[in-house]
Amino acid sequence: MSLTRLLAISRKELLQLRRDARSLYLAFILPLVLLVLFGYAISFDIRNIRMAVLDQSRTPESRELIESFAGSGYFSVVEHLETPADADRALGSSAVRLVLIVPPTFSADLAAGRGAIVQALLDGADANSATIAQNYAEAIVSGYSTRAVARGRRVTLPVTAESRVWYNETLESRNMIVPGLIAVIMSIIAAMLTALTIAREWERGTMEQLAATPVHRLEIVIGKLVPYVAIGLFDVALALSVGVVLFGVPFRGNLLLLGLLSLLFLIGSLGLGIFISAAVKSQVLATQVAMLATFLPALLLSGFIFTLATMPIVLQGLSYVVSARYYVAVTKGILLKGVGASVLWQDALAMVVFAVAGLAMAIGVFRKELA
């Protein structure tokens, strides 16, 4: 091993990168574009759910309940219905997603302290938003009951569970998404960055010349890795800044720990890219393989959006070989929970394994030899 030769490879790689618009775009623009795009596009927060009301009570109490729906910001009352049949039509035509029915006995039941019942009909065709709407509706009704009790109306006080959400108090889905998104984007970008490096040299005929020099293959692989590790760390820092500044994601943990684990993750992913590049020796194919090997697994099997624990056992098993899985856990853990090494050590260990494996595969498959 010679540092001179290793650095010569790194310097050459940077010079080439500087003059290649496509690589510059891939290294510095694409991660930001993806982050902003996904950050804004993926949101599970639902606002202004269109709802209709069938108020059969027509009392100040019922109007107060309806007001609290409209005033919550989560719902907008777009229709007042006359008959129960209207409810069917309104939901069926997708004009509204929720119909609130206040029965004629509402006020009387309240006054008698019997406990009043209101009905919410939900459009279950979109199960996800229906669940969210249901949760919102229950929260609003529960808030109304509490106020009713406080005002001294004798209502049989139900046992209420008061839940508090930790780590993401406002349940902003953006807070959940952005840290994982950074991990997913970096795993794609990292593999794509290095997927070109070795294949390009084979395709352009520069590898044959390089192979005839005393440079060791370790020096080539590490030398090519170094500049991309630096770029990758820069990208992570950039993405974090955008996440915190633009999306208001909290940063509660240790920056140094995140940097260190990011470094491990990048070595593994960049190594994977070099491995692919050296194995297929074609730029087009290497890009496709790198995309296939990182994009879908990182998106689906990393726990970024889809909860791993509820997946079929086979997919759960597969997720253990997706390095993004550990990095998603790390970014979420450090940003949202502020946890440290004592919690993340297993993920850190997995990332060490991936880093070593990525490097070993890259060095193992790369030969300074024509076939």
Partner 1 sequence: MAQPTVVLSDLSRRFRDVEAVDRLTFSVGRGELFGIVGPDGAGKTTTLRMLAGVLRPTGGDARVGGVSVTRDPEGVKRHIAYMSQRFGLYTDLTVRENIDFYADLFRVPADQRARRLERLYQFSGLGPFERRLAGQLSGGMKQKLGLCCALVHEPEIMLLDEPTFGVDPISRRDLWLIVHEMVAAGITVLVATAYLDEAERCDRVAMLHAGQLLALDTPEGFRRRLTGRIQTVRTSAPRQTRDLVAAHPAVQHAVLFGDMLHAILDDPARDWPDVKSRIASAGITILEEAAGEPSLEDVFIHLVTSAPAHA
Instruction: Name the minimum Å distance from CB 16 to partner 1.
Output: 5
Nearer to partner 1, 94 or 213 (CB): 213
Among 4, 156, 170, 342, binds partner 1 (CB under 8 A): 4
The reply on whether position 92 binds partner 1 by CB under 8 A is no
- What distance in Å separates the CA atoms of residue 242 and residue 244, rounded to the nearest whole number? 6
Instruction: Name the minimum Å distance from CB 2 to partner 1.
Output: 6
Instruction: Name the minimum Å distance from CB 360 to partner 1.
Output: 20
Nearer to partner 1, 7 or 321 (CB): 7
Nearer to partner 1, 21 or 314 (CB): 21
Nearer to partner 1, 216 or 337 (CB): 216
The reply on whether position 310 binds partner 1 by CB under 8 A is no
- What distance in Å separates the CA atoms of residue 160 and residue 175, rounded to the nearest whole number? 28
Q: Which residues contact 354 (CB under 8 A, 6 or more apart)?
A: 264, 265, 268, 269, 323, 326
- What distance in Å separates the CA atoms of residue 188 and residue 209, rounded to the nearest whole number? 31
Nearer to partner 1, 82 or 369 (CB): 369
The reply on whether position 63 binds partner 1 by CB under 8 A is no
x/- contact string, 182-201, with partner 1 (CB under 8 A)? Answer: --------------------
Backbone angles phi, psi at 121, to 5 degrees: -100, 130
Instruction: Name the minimum Å distance from CB 125 to partner 1.
Output: 55
Nearer to partner 1, 8 or 357 (CB): 8
Instruction: Name the minimum Å distance from CB 283 to partner 1.
Output: 14
Structure tokens at 281: 């020796």
Q: Which residues contact 103 (CB under 8 A, 6 or more apart)?
A: 56, 57, 116, 117, 118, 119
Among 24, 77, 210, 263, binds partner 1 (CB under 8 A): 210
The reply on whether position 208 binds partner 1 by CB under 8 A is yes
The reply on whether position 94 binds partner 1 by CB under 8 A is no
The reply on whether position 369 binds partner 1 by CB under 8 A is yes
The reply on whether position 285 binds partner 1 by CB under 8 A is no
The reply on whether position 80 binds partner 1 by CB under 8 A is no
Site residues (CB under 8 A) for partner 1, limited to 212-241: 212-216
Nearer to partner 1, 8 or 356 (CB): 8
Instruction: Name the minimum Å distance from CB 216 to partner 1.
Output: 8
The reply on whether position 204 binds partner 1 by CB under 8 A is yes
Q: What is the dihedral of CA 292, 296, 302, 305, to 10 degrees?
A: 160
First to last CA, the chain: 25
- What distance in Å separates the CA atoms of residue 300 and residue 297, rounded to the nearest whole number? 5
The reply on whether position 209 binds partner 1 by CB under 8 A is yes
Backbone angles phi, psi at 120, to 5 degrees: -120, 125
x/- contact string, 11-50, with partner 1 (CB under 8 A)? Answer: xx--xx--xx------------------------------
Q: Which stretch binds partner 1 (CB under 8 A): 31-39, 121-129, 209-217, 313-321?
A: 209-217
Among 48, 131, 135, 206, binds partner 1 (CB under 8 A): 206
Residues near partner 1, by CB under 8 A: 2, 4-5, 7-8, 11-12, 15-16, 19-20, 204-206, 208-216, 368-370
